Amino acid sequence: MLSFEGVYRKRGGTLLSGLFGSDPFDFWVGRFYVGLFGAISLGATFLGIAVIAFAISRIGDGDLARVTITAPLREYGLGFAGFDQGGAWQTIVILATVAFAAWALREVEICRKLEMGYHVPIMFSFAISAWLVLQVIRPLLMGCWCEGFDLGFTGHLTWVSNTGFRYQNFYLNPFHAFGVLGFFLTAMVLGMHGSAILGTYNTDPDPVKETSNVDNFWRDYIGYSIGELGIHVLGFWLAIYTLIMSDLCILTSGTVVKDWVDFWHFSIPWFH
Amino acid sequence: MPTVIARPGLPPFETPEPSPLDGGLGWRIGTPFHVPFLARFGVSTQLGTIWLGFWGVLSVIFFFAGLAIETAGGIYQMQGNVLMMVKYFANVQVLPPEGLGMPHSLQDGGFWIGTLTCWALSVICWAARCYERLLRFQWRPYLFFAYMSAILLTSTIWVFRPLVMGSWAEAPGLGLNSDLDWAQNFSVLWGNLYYDPWHMLAIFFLFGSTMLWGMHGATILATAAEGSHKEVAEIKDMHSGSHKSMLFWRWTMGFNANPKTIHDWLWWFSVGTVLSSSIGIITTGTVTHDWYVWGVDHGWVQQYGPITRDAINGRPEPPPIRSKPEQANNNFLTGGPTVGAPAPAQGQQ
C-alpha cells in the first residue's frame, strides 16, 4: 500500500452494488482492484491463454516467435471453422474482445471509485476500436473471417506486409499517411513534454517560478507555450486522432478502395 | 463526477525577466497578445513574445535558402512551367545524384545537394538555438538531446547510410510522393523490413509513444480538476490529483509511475523511437541484405513458398533504388498519360 492509499480504498460505487446493494467482487488482491469486470476479464484471459496453448500444442512448433495461429481459410467465409482450420483463431478473438471490453469497464469502475474523469477508459475504447476494426468489422464487411490478421509474433508482421502490398502501394493511402503523421507527432510532442518536465523539476524552491520558466522558454524558443494543462489536451487528442486515422486506414482498404495507386487517378473537371 | 475544468478569465501576460544570460546575440521581439478562442480547448491563449537570436535567424535563412533551391529544382523539372509545378506539387521530386562525387550539373543532383546542405545547416543552427535557450533558462539539457536524437535519424537516412552504401541515390528524393516511394522501395528491396528487429523495436516505441500519450494525457485530464496537471509543483509536493493518477494505474495494472518518473518513460519512448530507427536504417543493405532470410536463418520467421534460402542468398544484388532519368523513363510526365502537350504519333520519331 502507498502511504496515502488507505484514504482512497473504499467499497461501493460499482455496478453490482448499485443494482443489488452489495458486490461480492468489490475487493483488492494485493495492488490490483478486482471487481466484477476484473473477474470477467481475468476469466476470458486465462481461457484465451489456455486455447492458445492448446492450439500451439496442436501445431507442434515450440518456437514462440515463429508459431502462428492463422485465421480461417477463405472457404469458411463468415461461418465457423474447425479448431485446427481457424476455430482456434475465432475462439481467441472472441475471448480477447470480451477481455478488452471487460477491462475497459473495470477502468470505469476504478474511475468511479477514485471520483475522477472517464478519460482513460474512453481512450482505451479507441484502442479497442483498432482491434475491432481489424479482427471483426473489416472481416464482416469483406465477408470472410480470413481477412483478420494471424495471431503470432512474426505471423502478424507477415499479414501486415501482405496487406500492404495487396492494395498496391499502401503508402499512397491518405489515411495511412495521416496516421503515420499522428504517430510521429505523438513521439515528437512526447519528447518535448518529457524534456520540459525532466529539465525543470526541482530547479527552484518556488514551483510557480519553475512553471513560468517552462512557459517562458517555449515562448522564447517557438513563440508559444501551450500551458501545463494544454499540453495534456494536445497529447490526448493527438492519440485519439492517430487511432481514428488508423481505423479509417484499414477500414477503407479492400472495402471501398481496391488499389491505392489507382485511387489517385481521378480528374477534376475544372482543373485541367 | 465527470471532470469540470475551471476556465478562468484571460490570465495576465507573462514575459521573462531581463537576464544577463540573454547575452548579446539577439533580443526578444513582439508584443504578447491573447487569442481568446484557444481557451475553449483548455490551452494557453497567449501568443508571443519570441526570441530573435543569431542561431534562430541563421536557421530560418538556411531553411528558406534550401526551400528556394528545391523549388527551383521543381520548376526546372516542369521545364520552367510554374503552374504545372503547382498542379503536380505532390509528384514533383528533386532527386539525389548517383555516387558520392560532385554532381555534374544542377539537374543531375545539384539541386538535391544544395537543398540538403542548406537544410542540414538549418537544423544544426536550430539545435544551437535550442541549447543556447536552454542555457538561458537553466534547464537540464533533455530537450537538446531529444532533438539531437531526431537529427541522428534524419542524418542516418540522408547522410550516413548513403555514405556507407556509396551513393547519394540511396537517400530519399525531395518531394511529397518521393518520400513515400523511397519508404516503399526501402521496405521491399532488402527482404521484408518488418522482419528487421530494429524496425520492430522502433515500431514498438513509436506505437508505445502514442499509447503513452493516450495514457498520460487521459490520466492528467481526468484528474486535472484536482491539479494533477501542475506537474513540476506536484513533483515537489503531491496532492489528491496525483494520488488518484497513481492509484488508478496501480489498481488497474499493478504498476504506477509518479509525477516525475512518468516523464522518464515518456522521454525514453520518444528518444528510443528515433535511436532504434537509426540502427534499423543503417544496418539495412549494409550488414544485412535480406531481413526475410535473416529471420528464417534465426528461426523467427516461417519459410513461405518454394523459394529456398539458398536461392535467395544466391540472387544478384538488387538494382539501385533509382537509375538516371535519361536511362529510365521514370518521368511521370512522359511515362504516364501525357498531360498538356499531345503525345507524338507512332512512327514519327
Taking CA atoms, what residue in B is nearest to A205? B236
Distances (CA, A) of B83 to A52, B77, B340: 59, 12, 12
Same domain? B85 vs B154 = yes
Number of structural domains, chain B?
2
Q: Tell me whether residues B252 and A155 touch, CB distance under 8 A.
A: no
State yes or no: pLDDT of B333 exceeds 60: no
Same domain? B200 vs B277 = yes
Whole-number pLDDT of residue B342: 46
Measured CA to CA, the distance from residue A226 to residue A245 in angstroms comes to: 24
**Which member of B1, B138, B214 has the closest CB to residue A203?**
B138
Whole-number pLDDT of residue B191: 86
Which of B319, B332, B334, B346 minimizes the C-alpha distance to B169?
B319
Which of A180, A155, A177 minimizes the C-alpha distance to B202?
A180
Burial of B343 (0-12, 13-18, 19+ CB in 10 A): exposed
Same domain? A18 vs A153 = yes
Beta carbons of A249 and A172 less than 8 angstroms apart = no
Same domain? A159 vs A183 = no
In single-letter form, the type of residue at position B318 comes to: P
Same domain? A135 vs A179 = no
Q: What is the tens place of the pLDDT at every residue in B284-301?
A: 999 998 898 888 888 788
Distances (CA, A) of A137 to A76, A92, A178, A251, B213: 17, 16, 21, 8, 26
Distances (CA, A) of B232 to A190, A202, A215, B45: 16, 7, 12, 21
Distances (CA, A) of B211 to B204, B221, B289: 10, 15, 32
Q: What is the tens place of the pLDDT at every residue in A75-122?
A: 999 999 999 999 999 999 999 999 999 999 999 999 999 999 999 999
Distances (CA, A) of A262 to A168, A173, A254, A267: 9, 11, 13, 12
Whole-number pLDDT of residue B337: 39
Q: Cell numbers of A113, please?
A: 471509485
Whole-number pLDDT of residue B26: 87
Measured CA to CA, the distance from residue B172 to residue B179 in angstroms comes to: 6
Beta carbons of A199 and B146 less than 8 angstroms apart = no
- Which domain, by its residues, includes B122? 63-179
Q: For chain B, how long is the longest CA-to-CA vector? A: 84
**Is residue B72 assigned to a domain?**
yes
B179, B199, B234 - which closes a domain:
B179
Which of B38, B51, B107 minimizes the C-alpha distance to B79?
B107
Angle of CA points A27, A32, A35, to nearest 5°: 40
**A65 vs B114, more confident:** B114
Beta carbons of A104 and A125 less than 8 angstroms apart = yes
Beta carbons of B303 and A223 less than 8 angstroms apart = no
- Where residue A104 sits, what CATH number does that domain have? 1.20.85.10
Q: Cell numbers of B238, please?
A: 503531491
Listed by number, the residues of chain A in 161-200 with a beta carbon closer than 8 Å to a beta carbon of chain B are 161, 165, 169-172, 177, 182-184, 186-200
Same domain? A145 vs A251 = no
State yes or no: pLDDT of B317 exceeds 80: no
Q: Which residues pair with B46 in a beta bridge?
A: B34
A134, A166, A198 - which closes a domain:
A166
C-alpha A228, offset from chain centre: 25
Neighbours of A32 (CB within 10 A): 16
Beta carbons of B111 and B173 less than 8 angstroms apart = no
Q: Cell numbers of A45, please?
A: 484471459
Number of structural domains, chain A?
2
Q: Which ipTM was obtained for this model?
A: 0.96
Whole-number pLDDT of residue B332: 45
Q: Tell me whether residues B263 and A193 touch, CB distance under 8 A.
A: yes
Taking CA atoms, what residue in A is nearest to B135? A217
A166, A183, A202 - which closes a domain:
A166
Which of B99, B245, B220 minimizes the C-alpha distance to B162?
B99
A166, A199, A220 - which closes a domain:
A166
Same domain? A173 vs A132 = no
Whole-number average pLDDT of chain B: 86
Angle of CA points A100, A104, A107, to nearest 5°: 140
Whole-number pLDDT of residue A196: 97
Positions in chain A whose pLDDT score sits under 50 = none
Q: Cell numbers of B253, please?
A: 495494472
In single-letter form, the type of residue at position A69 comes to: I
Whole-number pLDDT of residue B299: 79
Taking CA atoms, what residue in B is nearest to A215? B14
Measured CA to CA, the distance from residue B48 to residue B28 in angstroms comes to: 9
Measured CA to CA, the distance from residue B47 to residue B295 in angstroms comes to: 52
Whole-number pLDDT of residue A189: 98
Measured CA to CA, the distance from residue A265 to residue A215 in angstroms comes to: 47
Angle of CA points A70, A125, A100, to nearest 5°: 45
Whole-number pLDDT of residue A66: 84
Whole-number pLDDT of residue B318: 53
Whole-number pLDDT of residue A69: 93
Mean pLDDT of B168-173: 94
Question: Contacts of residue A112 in chain B, CB cutoff 8 Å?
Answer: 1
State yes or no: pLDDT of B24 exceeds 70: no
Taking CA atoms, what residue in B is nearest to A208? B233
A201/B contact by beta carbon, under 8 A: yes
Measured CA to CA, the distance from residue A224 to residue B128 in angstroms comes to: 19
B123, B145, B179 - which closes a domain:
B179
State yes or no: pLDDT of B69 exceeds 60: yes
Measured CA to CA, the distance from residue B94 to residue A228 in angstroms comes to: 41
User: What pTM value is reported for the model?
Assistant: 0.90
Question: Contacts of residue A221 in chain B, CB cutoff 8 Å?
Answer: 51, 129-130, 133
Which of A264, A38, A63, A66 minimizes the C-alpha distance to A152?
A66
- Interface test mutation site (partner A, options B5, B221, B237, max chain A beta carbons within 10 A): B221
Measured CA to CA, the distance from residue B303 to residue B140 in angstroms comes to: 49
| Percent of chain B residues past pLDDT 90, beyond the cut | 64
Same domain? A112 vs A207 = no
User: pLDDT band for position B334 (50/70/90)?
Assistant: very low
* Long-range contact pairs involving A59-66 (C-beta distance under 8 Å, separation at least 24): A63/B299, A63/B300, A64/A153, A65/A153, A65/A154, A65/B299, A65/B300, A66/A152, A66/A153, A66/A154, A66/A155, A66/B299, A66/B300, A66/B301, A66/B302
**Is residue A102 assigned to a domain?**
yes
Same domain? A138 vs A18 = yes
Output the DSSP codes for A52-119: HHHHHHHHT---TTT--BPPPPGGGTTS---GGGTHHHHHHHHHHHHHHHHHHHHHHHHHHHHT--SH
State yes or no: pLDDT of B343 exceeds 50: no
**Is residue B81 assigned to a domain?**
yes
Whole-number pLDDT of residue A65: 85
- Which domain, by its residues, includes A176? 169-262
- Interface test mutation site (partner B, options A7, A27, A116, A156, max chain B beta carbons within 10 A): A116
Question: Contacts of residue B47 in chain A, CB cutoff 8 Å?
Answer: 223-224
B140, B162, B179 - which closes a domain:
B179
Output the DSSP codes for B1-40: -------PSPPPP--PPP-GGG-SSEEEES--EE-GGGGG
Q: Which residues pair with B26 in a beta bridge?
A: B53
Question: Contacts of residue A189 in chain B, CB cutoff 8 Å?
Answer: 213
Same domain? B169 vs B211 = no
Output the DSSP codes for B295-308: HHHTT-SPPPSS--
Q: Tell me whether residues A119 and B139 touch, CB distance under 8 A.
A: no
User: Based on C-alpha coordinates, what's the Rg of chain B?
Assistant: 26
Whole-number pLDDT of residue B138: 94
Question: What is the count of residue pairs from A and B with beta carbons less than 8 Å apart?
Answer: 314
Same domain? A121 vs A159 = yes
| Percent of chain B residues past pLDDT 70, beyond the cut | 84
